[in-house]
Amino acid sequence: MVEEKLTSHRSVRVLQGLTSSTIPKDIVAKAEPVILKQLVGDWPLVKAGKISDRYSVDYLKQFYNGNTSIVCKIPPENNGRMFYNSNCTDLDYESFKGRIDDTLEAILDCAGKVDEPAYYIASNIIDTHFPNLLQDNNLTIPRTMHPDAMKERVSIWIGAATTATCHFDALDNIACCVAGKRRFTIFPPDQVTNLYPGPLEPTPGGQVISLVDFKNPDFEKFPRFKTALQNALVAELEPGDALYLPSMWWHHVESLAPYNILVNYWWDDAPSFLMSGMNALYAAMLGIRDKSAHERHGWQQLFNHYIFNGAETANSYIPAEAHGFLKPLERLESRKLRALLINKLNR
């Protein structure tokens, strides 16, 4: 287990006494993981799960509209882990479209049976499958957002004792444990190399994952993982607890009970017309990565100047009338820049 290898780990900071409508803005502003103890303990969905798994399933099913979902079926020999085949060219579990109510029943039927598959439903938009569930089970997210920022997306994860292999997300996130228990092992973004990220495609959930088996790490094959563990934070969530997780932090998520539900709030306060960071990464692979070392270094300095040090660094000494794309983008400028990129890529 990770905790057996992580003898000097640090626990995530815990805040008590908050409610679903009183999350302070400085939690998000600090951009560090924090447990919000019993933040959603008053949700009816949480209270149902504390009575029994069956009561939780019956409560959830009354909101279900019958829409199908992608269901993951994980073979018993995986011990709940969703990963790759031996050469990382395909995933080692089955995915199919199915009804959520049938999957809920399958999870209960297989609970505690080591020779049965584990079922898992990942990140379904709640309003798409459970309209009206949020009326009595909701949060107020403290945001400082651009007028064109996206509305927060609320999703639900349902499954048996499964493991979401270490990955990052490009959105800020508050993860609410509403049934079962969750353990998050969390790493700051600067640990990416020490986590040995795998292929860009395929991936279990759309994001790159670590190739390290956290339950049985091979330190000969992945020696830098020891350094990652020295920088790890651990957060254990009980029903009603929530975790604020800043974007780009890596996290390995273990569902510890036979029946588990997590509700996520995802958001990005930046304008929605900006291109995704992954698209920018792909563009840099196409244009920079395979150039000579000295040229890559030169581009690194240019990226620092124009991108990572902020717009003000690049435009502060230039007359405002000539800022062009060097000023913070608004919707019109973003369209012009997108058109410019498309035109150049198509040449």
Query: Per-residue DSSP letters for 233-248?
Result: EEEEE-TT-EEEE-TT
**Last residue within a domain, chosen from 243, 267, 291:** 267
The CA distance from 264 to 253, in Å, is: 13
Are 50 and 190 in the same domain?
A: yes
pTM: 0.93
Contact between residue 189 and residue 258 where contact means Cβ atoms under 8 Å apart: no
Portion of the chain with pLDDT greater than 70, in percent: 97
∠ Cα 186 237 51 (to 5°): 155
Confidence of residue 113 (pLDDT cuts 50, 70, 90): confident
Confidence of residue 347 (pLDDT cuts 50, 70, 90): confident
Say if 272 falls within a structural domain: no
Are 181 and 247 in the same domain?
A: yes
**Last residue within a domain, chosen from 242, 267, 292:** 267
Say if 305 falls within a structural domain: yes
Cα 333 vs. chain centroid, distance in angstroms? Answer: 30
Are 153 and 262 in the same domain?
A: yes
Portion of the chain with pLDDT greater than 90, in percent: 85
Cis link prior to 147 (omega < 30° from 0)? no
Are 80 and 170 in the same domain?
A: yes
Residue 340 sits in which domain range?
277-345
Say if 137 falls within a structural domain: yes
Are 77 and 184 in the same domain?
A: yes
Q: Alpha helices, DSSP H only, in the chain?
A: 2-5, 25-30, 44-51, 53-61, 100-110, 126-129, 225-230, 277-284, 293-303, 311-315, 331-345
Please check the confidence at residue 155 and state whether its pLDDT lies above 80: yes
Q: Alpha helices, DSSP H only, in 244-330?
A: 277-284, 293-303, 311-315
Residue 53: phi and psi, rounded to 5, are -60, -40
**Last residue within a domain, chosen from 267, 295, 321:** 267
Identify the CATH number of the domain in which residue 162 sits.
2.60.120.10
Please compute, for residue 243, the number of CA atoms within 13 A of its CA located in the half-sphere on the CB side. Answer: 28
Which of residues 344 and 58 earns the better pLDDT score? Answer: 58
Number of domains in the chain: 2
Other CB atoms within 10 Å distance of the CB of residue 136: 10
Are 12 and 151 in the same domain?
A: yes
List, for residues 234-248, the tens digit of each pLDDT value: 999 999 999 999 999
